[in-house]
Amino acid sequence: MHIHWFPGHMAKAQRMIREQLKLIDVVIELLDARIPYSSANPVISEIIGEKPHVVALNKIDLAEPELTKQWMSHFQNMNFSVVALDAASGNGMKNLIGQVEKIAGDKLAKLAAKGIKPRAVRAMILGIPNVGKSSLINRLLGSATVRTGDKPGVTRGQQWIKVGKNLELLDTPGVLWPKLDDQEIAFKLAATGAIKDDVYDAEKVILKLVGLLRDDYSERLITRYNLPLPLPADDSELLGLIAARRGCLRSGGIVDYDKAGRIVLNEFRSGKLGGFTLDRPNTELDGMSNN
């Protein structure tokens, strides 16, 4: 399985971000709570540099609560300001705003000391595609004024958005790194929907996902699809069994693996199979240390 994806607009997005960064007080780096490591773009870290920023773990409703706590501790131990949130429900919004205002306080205080008129905190939201940036802004505004979608690549331009009297947000396009050399990371990005479904071998990703679910979450598979024991050791055979249980059969009784695979993938992404955290914090994640 080899996944490589870097659309031309991604390079343009990086240039736009670099140009606007000098106007920003705080960067909000939005990560997917299911894959905090895999969704942490090293290009974003390089762009941010020493700019103050908050790490926001989004989609906690789709992640495993205990592992989210471990990730929170991991980032805190690395001296990051970190919040957990669910943009869809609004959980964690007040905490995020509080952290942003707190971090920006020193800069605004210095401006005030120079006699500069008080102004709203200026924050930039950065993250990979489909991590929930537009949904976060909509939740902060209280209305769906920013176009959102369940596919990566919806937000293409930049726009300033006023949130109350004390915060201005700059929305930006999602940025993936130019080369996905780590195919394990590429798989996790594909499985969670950060990479468009039409640019990778969906069959291989789905079979790998089915195997992962069998090995680490077998009880969920058995319960969701009413599967008999023992589960097949072969990924294709297991998918075929799921297809049979869900009636994914073509004329003549031929198994429709594609339809069954899409069912598993969609139910994995939507939370119908429960919460998943594919990245686990450990001592090997030193690369995420604060810049």
- Binding site annotation covers 91? no
Q: What pLDDT, in 10s, does the model give residues 6-58?
A: 555 566 667 777 878 888 889 999 999 999 999 998 877 788 888 888 999 99
What is the reported pLDDT for 148? 43
Secondary structure string (H, E, C) spanning the chain: CCCCCCCHHHHHHHHHHHHHHHHCCEEEEEEECCCCCCCCCHHHHHHHCCCCEEEEEECHHHCCHHHHHHHHHHHHHCCCEEEECECCCCECHHHHHHHHHHHHHHHHHHHHHCCCCCCCEEEEEECCCCCCHHHHHHHHHCCCCCCCCCCCCCCCCCEEEEECCCEEEEECCCCCCCCCCCHHHHHHHHHHCCCCHHHCCHHHHHHHHHHHHHHHCHHHHHHHHCCCCCCCCCHHHHHHHHHHHCCCEECCCEECHHHHHHHHHHHHHHCCCCCCCCCCCCHHHHHHCCC
pLDDT tens for each residue of 109-167: 877 788 887 788 889 888 888 888 888 888 887 754 554 444 444 344 556 778 777 78
pLDDT tens by residue, 225-265 = 999 999 999 999 999 999 999 999 998 889 999 999 999 99
Strand-pairing partners, residue 171, are 159
Mean pLDDT over all residues of the chain? 84
pLDDT at residue 191, as a whole number? 95
Q: Are strands 53-58 and 81-84 parallel, antiparallel or unpaired?
A: parallel
Q: What is the pLDDT of residues 163-199, one digit of tens each?
A: 777 788 886 666 666 556 788 998 999 999 988 888 7
Residue 290 pLDDT? 46
Query: Which of 243, 215, 249 lies closest to 230, judged by CA?
Result: 215
How far are the Cα atoms of 7, 42, 85, 143, 268 from residue 176, in angstroms, in the given order? 9, 9, 22, 28, 22
**Considering all CA atoms of the chain, what is the largest pairwise distance in Å, rounded to the nearest integer?**
80
The reported pLDDT for the residue numbered 177 is 60
What is the distance between the alpha carbons of residues 136 and 88, in angstroms, rounded to a whole number? 7
Question: Model confidence over 197-206: pLDDT tens digits?
Answer: 887 889 999 9
Say if residue 130 carries a ligand binding annotation: yes
pLDDT at 13: 67
**Domains by residue range for the chain, with CATH:** 8-179 (3.40.50.300), 183-270 (1.10.1580.10)
Place of tokens 């920006």: 104
- Residue 17's identity, in one-letter code, is I
Question: Which residues are within 8 A (CB) of 117 and not within 5 positions of it... i.e. 6 or more apart?
Answer: none
Average pLDDT over residues 260-273: 97
Q: Is 252 annotated as a binding residue?
A: no
Q: Is 131 part of any known ligand binding site?
A: yes
32 assigned to a ligand binding site: no
**Peptide bond before 178: cis, by omega within 30 degrees of 0?**
no
Does 134 carry a binding-site annotation?
A: yes
Give the pLDDT of residue 46.
81
pLDDT of 11 reads: 64
What's the confidence (pLDDT) of residue 50?
Answer: 84
For the chain, the distance separating the N- and C-terminal CA atoms, rounded to the nearest angstrom, is 32
Asked whether residue 132 is marked as a ligand-binding residue, the answer is: yes
Is residue 133 a known part of a binding site?
yes
Question: Is 59 assigned to a binding site?
Answer: yes
Report the pLDDT value the prediction gives residue 114, as an integer from 0 to 100.
84
Q: Report the range of poorest mean pLDDT among 104-108, 244-248, 271-275.
A: 104-108
Residue 247, marked binder: no
Q: Is 45 annotated as a binding residue?
A: no
